[in-house]
Structures are given as structure tokens and as C-alpha cells.
């Protein structure tokens, strides 16, 4: 396919993906109130200011005139991106798939089927520990003060935590992908375990904005477990690859070419053409012509 056809196909698939996001976002706008309540559910709410002393609860409200509109747009777009993800992921896959080999398509199916549950698991775990994290943050409120939180800030905090947990759970899958393409070996990954464990816990402490160890352990513990699962898988994959290479190339795989130059013997001299038998020409042509 020429370059112009590739660009035209990319334009069409991007248009379909954007259309799916816009349609789902418009539909989600009718349920934006329920979505806001769901995302703000981890925050303990106060009935009035008299009960908000000491950080036991908080009052969630809009602080500016345009906040209800901007928050509705933000929540609707987020829901549109998440709900329509099968459509735009398929469009991305349909654009890339023709350039992949059969075994590469098989690996892609496996990676996508594993990436979705990992992200959902991380997002669910973040939503579970959000009430604990928010209570710890509210407990730092000094006596005589009340917490009046903007709904924009609450939604930003919730979405950020969900995205951080969901994307962090994709780290082991990324390591497996690097091992499958031969960039990192399982033995080398196993040698990194001390630094990886330390880095994961530091990341957990920085990514979770609370001062308690609950959020850090809740994020770092599963990632460490998934890391060792990725190391075990990579070691097994390295052994399988070594056995396959020792057995030689498969039927549909090209063998390695020997590009070592060889010496060429000089060619034998070519005998000269015999002389013409006669000098006569027939129709203007001699023996050679």
C-alpha cells in the first residue's frame, strides 16, 4: 500500500475512534451526576459545618460558577475514553495488524488480554484503599478547622490514584514484552530484584499522597509479586528459546545467511573468435553479423 493510502486509512480510523469517544461521552453526560457521586464516594461527607471540626469529614462543593460545567465535561470525557476503549483499541489494532507476522499477532492478543485485567485490578485496588487514604489526609486537619473541598480536586485526586495504580500494574507486562523480543533476559531481571523492590517501594511512597504505610504497601506489594511472576515467566521463556535455537529454524523461519566472503578463482582465458571463412557479404552481412 502506498504512503498516501496509509495516511488515508489512518485518517479514517482516527475519525471512527474520535466519533466513538464523542458518542459515548454525550451519552455519559446524562449520567454525569451519578458518576460524580461514585467518584466522590470515598470522601466522608459532613451534613453541615458544625460536624466538620477536626477533620472527621468534609463538605464537597463547587467553588466557582463554571465548576459544574467543567466537571461535567471532564467526567463525561473520562467515561467516554474508558467505555469506548474497545472501539479505538480495535481501530489501532486494525491499522497495525497488517504489518505483523502471525506469531506477533498471537503475542499481541495475549498481551492485550492480560493488560486489561491488570489495569482493572489496579484501578479496583486504588478505589478500595481510597477511603483509608482520604481519612488519613483529613485527620491532619487541626482542631477548630473545617474541610470544604472542591469537587474538582476530589475528582482529580480519585482519577489520579486510579490511573497510577492501573498503570503501575502494567510494569510486569512491560518486562515480559521486553523479554519476548529478546531485549532483557530473565537472568538479568532476576539480578535486579534488590533495586527493583527498593524502587517500587519508593515509587509507592511518592505516588500515594498519604503519610500512612497502608497506601504504599497496597501499591508496592502487588507490584513486587507481579515482578517476580514476570521474572519466573522470563526464565522459562529463555529456556524455551534456547531449546528452539539448538533445534534449528522452523519450517516457516529463514535460516541465518553466511555472509563470509570466499575467494574466487581466476577465470580461464577465452579463446579468440575464429577468422572469417570468406570475405564475401550476403545481403550486406558478413559471417559475424
Confidence of residue 23 (pLDDT cuts 50, 70, 90): very high
Average pLDDT over residues 8-37: 88
> What is the per-residue pLDDT for 19?
92
> What is the per-residue pLDDT for 261?
76
> What is the per-residue pLDDT for 279?
62
> What is the per-residue pLDDT for 17?
87
> What is the per-residue pLDDT for 68?
82
Helix, strand, coil distribution of the chain in percent, nearest 5? 65, 5, 30
List, in sequence order, the alpha helices (H) in 84-212.
85-96, 102-139, 151-168, 171-180, 186-191, 193-207
Helix axes 3-29, 32-39, angle to 10 degrees: 80
* Residue 150 pLDDT exceeds 70: yes
Strand partners, 191: none
Give the integer Cα–Cα distance in Å for 181 and 121. Answer: 26
Average pLDDT over residues 93-118: 73
Give the integer Cα–Cα distance in Å for 7 and 119. Answer: 31
Best CA proximity match to 189, nearest among 252, 243, 231, 220? 231
Average pLDDT over residues 166-181: 81
Q: Which residue has the higher pLDDT, 157 or 108?
A: 157
What phi and psi values does residue 238 have, to the nearest 5 degrees?
-65, -40
Q: Which of 3-7, 109-113, 237-241 ranks highest by mean pLDDT?
A: 237-241
pTM of the shown model: 0.65
Q: Across the chain, what does the average pLDDT equal? A: 77
Are residues 233 and 188 in contact, defined by beta-carbon separation less than 8 angstroms? no
Average pLDDT over residues 212-231: 80
Give the integer Cα–Cα distance in Å for 223 and 214. Answer: 14
Best CA proximity match to 60, nearest among 71, 72, 44? 44
> What is the per-residue pLDDT for 229?
87
R_g over Cα of the chain: 33
Other residues' Cβ atoms within 10 Å of the Cβ of residue 81? 15
Q: Which residue has the higher pLDDT, 53 or 37?
A: 37
Give the integer Cα–Cα distance in Å for 278 and 98. Answer: 67
Average pLDDT over residues 38-46: 79
Are residues 57 and 147 in contact, defined by beta-carbon separation less than 8 angstroms? yes
**pLDDT-wise least confident of 104-113, 176-185, 247-256, 264-273:** 247-256
The helix/strand/coil state of 65 is coil
The helix/strand/coil state of 260 is coil
Dihedral sign (CA 157, 163, 166, 167): negative
Other residues' Cβ atoms within 10 Å of the Cβ of residue 11? 10
Helix axes 151-168, 102-139, angle to 10 degrees: 140
Residue 33 C-beta-side C-alpha neighbours within 13 Å: 1
Amino acid at each position: 500500500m502506498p504512503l498516501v493510502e496509509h495516511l488515508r486509512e489512518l485518517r479514517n480510523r482516527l475519525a471512527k475512534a474520535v466519533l466513538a469517544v464523542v458518542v459515548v461521552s454525550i451519552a455519559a453526560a446524562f449520567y454525569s451526576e451519578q458518576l460524580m457521586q461514585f467518584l466522590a464516594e470515598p470522601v466522608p461527607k459532613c451534613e453541615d459545618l458544625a460536624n466538620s471540626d477536626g477533620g472527621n469529614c468534609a463538605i464537597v462543593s463547587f467553588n466557582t460558577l463554571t465548576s459544574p460545567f467543567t466537571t461535567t465535561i471532564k467526567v463525561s470525557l473520562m467515561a467516554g475514553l474508558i467505555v469506548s476503549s474497545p472501539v479505538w483499541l480495535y481501530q489501532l489494532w486494525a491499522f497495525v495488524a497488517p504489518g505483523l507476522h502471525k506469531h506477533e499477532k498471537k503475542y499481541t492478543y495475549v498481551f492485550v488480554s492480560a493488560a486489561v485485567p491488570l489495569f482493572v485490578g489496579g484501578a479496583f485496588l486504588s478505589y478500595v484503599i481510597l477511603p483509608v487514604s482520604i481519612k488519613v489526609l483529613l485527620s491532619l486537619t487541626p482542631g477548630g478547622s473545617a474541610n470544604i473541598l472542591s469537587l474538582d480536586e476530589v475528582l482529580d485526586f480519585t482519577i489520579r490514584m486510579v490511573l497510577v495504580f492501573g498503570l503501575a500494574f502494567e510494569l510486569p507486562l512491560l518486562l515480559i514484552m521486553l523479554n519476548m523480543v529478546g531485549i532483557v533476559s530473565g537472568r538479568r531481571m532476576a539480578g535486579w530484584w534488590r533495586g527493583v523492590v527498593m524502587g517500587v517501594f519508593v515509587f509507592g511512597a511518592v505516588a500515594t499522597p498519604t503519610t500512612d504505610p497502608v497506601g504504599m504497601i497496597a501499591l508496592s506489594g502487588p507490584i513486587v509479586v507481579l515482578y517476580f511472576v514476570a521474572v519466573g515467566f522470563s526464565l522459562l521463556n529463555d529456556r524455551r528459546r534456547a531449546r528452539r535455537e539448538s533445534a534449528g529454524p522452523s519450517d516457516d523461519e529463514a535460516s541465518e545467511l553466511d555472509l563470509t566472503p570466499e575467494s574466487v578463482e581466476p577465470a580461464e582465458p577465452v579463446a579468440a573468435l575464429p577468422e572469417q571463412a570468406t570475405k564475401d557479404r550476403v545481403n550486406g552481412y558478413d559471417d559475424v553479423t
